[in-house]
Amino acid sequence: MILDGVGTDVVRLARHDQPVPVGVVDVGSNTVRLLVADDGQQVLTVREAVGLGADVESHGLISARKLEETAAVVAALAHTAREAGTTHLDVLITSPGRQASNGDELLDAVERAAGAPARILSAAEEGRLAFVGALAGTTGLVRRRVAVVDVGGGSTQVTVGTRHGGPTWIGSLDIGSLRLTRRLLAGDPSGVAAVEAAKHEVAALLGGFDPPEPQAALAVGGSARTLRRIAGARLGCDEFATLLPLLATTSSDDLIRRYDLPPHRARTLTAGAVILAALQERLRTPLRVARTGLREGALVELAERRAAA
């Protein structure tokens, strides 16, 4: 397991008379991640690569071996969360649960392994939680209409709304960084022609995708956070005009070495950048990379449920 950090401010969670750590396990296409927070302070975050999305993209389902591997990872993370004092644990499954023909088997295996309630998020639920988490961890934007773009491994969500009013529009694309990489960007580096083909693929998927134009836009998820290491926190037309040719012609090993990128993100980063660039153009406003997202949104809601109990 990889420990990403401890003791960092995450979001200000709902207060409770006797705060105790709360945790979220997020089962995604690329990784399974654990986030534990105590009274708004991050206690720990752990990630483990599992690659469920590769199984789904290749076979349409999750193999028995991968189900067993994922269950073992979830069991270990749940144990880690409880060792940190967590008594309330939510387990969320994102696009692999929706896209795999045996998503119900994944749900059962994960729930048994965690010893805690698990659920497969709908695309709308995933977008809403990413929106809540992104705004909870971002200052300002009080009266502005904000778009939150969440590019995952298997799907992409765009949610538009306001801090106080919540989401008013949620759209989802059945494509993510891992899926697009396996379909069109398998080379390392992928090359300019492959990137152009990927751009056309995403443009076709965006037909009829018409979110309200926001006054500000936030990008969450692993692709956006990794691109921040190369281009900074602002991802607009100029940044993508530099990023896409760089990624198309630079191997993942070189990217890791030059920019200290997480190895598990480097191979799918070009695809993530293609998707983010297309959505930034559609939204007509630069993206600001947010430090919080879906897991933090889930923690906010978990803490609020505890406070209301």
Give pLDDT tens digits for 149-200.
999 999 999 999 999 999 999 999 999 999 999 999 999 999 999 999 999 9
**Domain CATH for 205:** 3.30.420.150
Pairing of strands 31-38, 41-49: antiparallel
Which residue's entry shows tokens 């109990």?
309
| 297 domain-assigned | no
Locate all alpha helices (DSSP H) within 13-153, ordered by sequence. 52-59, 64-83, 95-99, 103-114, 123-136
Would the pLDDT of 253 be above 90? yes
Distance CA 36, CA 81 (A): 7
Where among 93, 121, 149 does a domain terminate?
121
Q: Please say whether the beta carbons of 135 and 210 come within 8 A.
A: no
Whether 157 contacts 134, CB under 8 Å: no
Q: What is the pLDDT of residue 194?
A: 98
**Residue 128: inside a domain:** no
* pTM exceeds 0.85 for this model: yes
Per-chain mean pLDDT for the chain: 92
Same domain, 86 and 164: no
- Going by pLDDT thresholds of 50, 70 and 90, the confidence category of residue 288 is very high
* Chain Cα centroid distance, residue 64: 25
Helices (H), 4-63: 52-59
pLDDT tens, 214-249?
999 999 999 999 999 999 999 999 999 999 999 999
Lowest model confidence (mean pLDDT) among 1-10, 92-101, 127-136: 1-10
Range of the domain at 143: 138-289
